[in-house]
Amino acid sequence: MTRIDLPLQPNGSKVQWSYLPRQFNEQSIEEILGRLRAFVPTGDFTLGKPVREFEDRFARLIGTRHAIGVNSGTDALKLSLKALGVGPGDEVVTAANTFIATIGAIAENFARPALVDCTDNFCMDVSKVEAAITPRTKAIMPVHFAGLPVDLEPVYALARRRGLRVIEDAAHAMGAACQGRRIGSQGDLVAFSFHPNKNLTTIEGGALSFASEAEVERAERLRFHGIRKLPGGGIDVLEHAGKSNLADVSARIGIAQLQKLEQFNARRTALARRYLERLDGASGLRLPVDGPGHAWHLFAPLVDFGAAQLTRARFIEAMHARGIGAGIHYQALHLFQAYRRLGYREGDFPNAETIGERTVTLPLFTQMQDSDVDRVCDALRETIRRAK
């Protein structure tokens, strides 16, 4: 993945920006290496004590009693769907504005993603969910976009009324809160990602939290070949399943990260609010929505490229030329070839399409200084001004 140099100070010192987890400063790297030095000689690498310790600490942090570690956020979604028996002929209602992993997990379970549009805050439009429910609907999958929680109360009220399950895609929402309670503490099934670009990372990994203790035992089997261990060292295989367990090495990294999550998220919030302050009133720009419990995984404003007489590709190229990385989160899913084959067409979800056409993602990582935000904002304004 391309790495972009972002100048920090007039003396020429630099930090490199990409989608890597910039919370890995020198001190945290040494702490992680220390944990690994103590752990590697044990030879306990698969579903050992580090995974259990991480799961326990993670569950306490988010406020749930039941959580398991897996090897990616995508597998957390797939495992949750399989645990609920979602399969051929079923439908799952989710957002048209999210990463492809959300609906890819649904499709890989041979179910159909039933998409709904998003609101101006990029999260799924809860008011449109009921119209997307059919007799084949098995679950609702809201997505907490960029760290901003979906309004969960009406989602769960609808699910109870219609006899449906809820799987929260919380890949962006580690540490986020809804109505004062942590995401994962009050949900049905909640899937988290610890990819390198997330607020908390295990390099690769994820987790799944449960409201029901009865479902945890089966989910633990599903993440490791459907195996149930028997007394005396034997095993039984109760059902076909793959392998998606969290590695013990990743768990060790995660344990170190968990201790710093509050610090990481506080810094991300401060940086995001500086962006909001510095870009307030900027012409042709629609800023992200702040709100209670926001974890600020991404800072993704919308640029009116038409009014600026500028294409997004030219904008990103111009920012790169200034040493500043920019990304795209996300293009509207229903316009990808794979999902057009399901019958979706341009115009089906206008808010998602507008966001998909105009979104840009600006640097947001814990090692940024306030002056870095100022520099990004100045470059953005200048790039748009020069294009006119």
Catalytic residue annotation: 198
Instruction: Give the residue from 41, 79, 111, 112 showing the smallest Cα distance to 334.
Output: 112
Token pair 């159909």 is at which residue? 112
H-run or E-run covering 313: helix 312-321
- CA–CA separation, 289 vs 356, rounded Å? 17
Most distant pair of Cα atoms in the chain: their distance: 75
Tokens of 54: 């991480």
- CA–CA separation, 91 vs 88, rounded Å? 9
Instruction: State whether residue 127 is helix, strand or coil.
Output: helix
Instruction: Give the residue from 258, 264, 296 showing the smallest Cα distance to 59.
Output: 258
Instruction: Give the residue from 152, 150, 144 showing the smallest Cα distance to 173.
Output: 144
Backbone phi, then psi, for 209, in 5-degree steps? -105, 155
Token pair 């900027």 is at which residue? 282
Cβ atoms of residues 116 and 128 within 8 Å: yes
- CA–CA separation, 94 vs 269, rounded Å? 27
375: Cα within 13 Å, side-chain hemisphere: 20
What residue type is 18 in one-letter code? S
Supply the DSSP symbol for 148: P
Strand partners, 68: 208
- CA–CA separation, 255 vs 262, rounded Å? 13
In 233-374, beta strands by DSSP E: 235-237, 285-286, 302-303
